């Protein structure tokens, strides 16, 4: 099954980081204007409890680089160090729902750079995930490492040669895997903006 998808940058709230579970935030919807017969709702009066809740909410910053988004989350309570990643989400055509997510966690000193792929839970866990920068690229493969109710995950070590290839790519590649029914699923990945997004991520 070849999934036709459109590329979309996506602000993922809560899935960063170790990139294990993924709770993804959708764009907020604009509230409908109040009807003439109904007076506009007034904001609730601030209470010490409300102020405490707002003050404890994590602070998020995002920046777009081509088709990639760099996001950092800073907790207002310790530990307060920012947790950052860069990511790209693909949506199915005609549906405002994320289908797959490809993300790179903030590099840690002495640790390999990780690229994490998240796909739907109906993936065939016994198969491998294939990433290519183009049709001519033999690409790289990795097995699924885990599944949970939010999806199935595969991890790629971005060693120096692979990272160099991804940084030099600028077109549309693809992510391939098999679903539980044994059907091939292909999802586009844009490498437009990958290099500047990674440079920005490293500086975080």
pLDDT tens per residue, range 140-194: 999 999 999 999 999 999 999 999 999 999 999 999 999 999 999 999 999 999 9
Q: Which two tokens stand for residue 63?
A: 């920046």
Q: Is residue 116 part of a domain?
A: yes
pLDDT tens per residue, range 29-52: 333 333 333 333 333 344 445 444
From CA 18, how far away is CA 120, in angstroms rounded? 18
Q: Is residue 35 part of a domain?
A: no
Domain that holds residue 131: 5-16+52-203
Q: Pick 91 or 54 by higher pLDDT.
A: 91
* Whole-number pLDDT of residue 201: 96
Binning pLDDT at 50, 70 and 90, where does residue 54 land? Answer: low
Residues contacting residue 39 through CB under 8 Å, at least 6 positions apart: none
From CA 24, how far away is CA 98, in angstroms rounded? 8
Q: Is residue 141 part of a domain?
A: yes
Q: The whole model's pTM is what?
A: 0.71
* Whole-number pLDDT of residue 52: 46
From CA 21, how far away is CA 34, in angstroms rounded? 38
From CA 126, how far away is CA 4, in angstroms rounded? 24
Q: Please count the structural domains in the chain.
A: 1
CATH assignment at residue 171: 2.60.40.1880
Q: Is residue 31 part of a domain?
A: no
Q: Is residue 23 part of a domain?
A: no
Q: Is residue 38 part of a domain?
A: no
């Amino acid at each position: 099954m070849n999934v036709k998808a459109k590329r979309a940058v996506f602000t993922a709230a809560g899935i960063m980081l170790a990139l294990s579970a993924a709770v993804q935030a959708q764009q907020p919807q604009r509230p409908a204007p109040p009807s003439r017969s109904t007076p506009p709702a007034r904001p609730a009066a601030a209470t010490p409890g409300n102020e405490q809740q707002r003050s404890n909410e994590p602070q998020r910053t995002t920046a777009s680089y081509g088709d990639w988004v760099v996001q950092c989350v800073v907790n207002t309570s310790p530990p307060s160090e920012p947790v950052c990643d860069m990511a790209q989400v693909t949506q199915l055509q005609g549906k405002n729902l994320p289908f797959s997510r490809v993300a790179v966690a903030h590099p840690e000193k002495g640790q390999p750079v990780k690229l994490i792929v998240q796909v739907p839970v109906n993936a065939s866990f016994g198969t491998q995930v294939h990433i290519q920068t183009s049709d001519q690229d033999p690409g790289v493969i990795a097995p699924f490492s885990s599944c949970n109710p939010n999806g199935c995950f595969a991890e790629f070590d971005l060693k120096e040669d692979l990272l160099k290839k991804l940084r030099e790519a600028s077109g549309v590649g693809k992510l391939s895997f098999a679903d539980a029914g044994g059907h091939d699923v292909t999802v586009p990945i844009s490498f437009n903006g990958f290099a500047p997004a990674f440079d920005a991520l490293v500086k975080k």
